Amino acid sequence: MSVEEKVKEIVMDKLNVTAEQVTPDASFVEDLGADSLDQAELVLALEDEFNLQISDKDSENLKTVGAAIDYITSHTS
């Protein structure tokens, strides 16, 4: 499974949204209804899945699905 597919799957599971909603441009807060606790949980799940550490500063910039995919792609080999 590609990074993109895996990220989408996690977002769908954690935010209880459909595949159609999880587009690269979709904003976690505005389009997918995430609150601050949802976002914190999402970052934890992504860290676990991709075995990396996302700093609080970096996580603040992961506002869209696409941004999360790009970040993970560039921080994993």
User: What is the rounded distance in angstroms from the CA atom of residue 77 to the CA atom of residue 55?
Assistant: 18
Site string for other proteins, 5-34 (x = CB under 8 A): ----------xx------------------
Q: Which of residues 50-69 bind other proteins (CB under 8 A)?
A: 53
CA torsion sign for 34, 36, 39, 41 is negative
Task: For the chain, state the CA radius of gyration.
Answer: 11
Check binding of 37 to other proteins (CB under 8 A). yes
Active site residue 58: no
Residues that bind other proteins (CB under 8 A): 15-16, 36-37, 40-41, 44, 47-48, 53
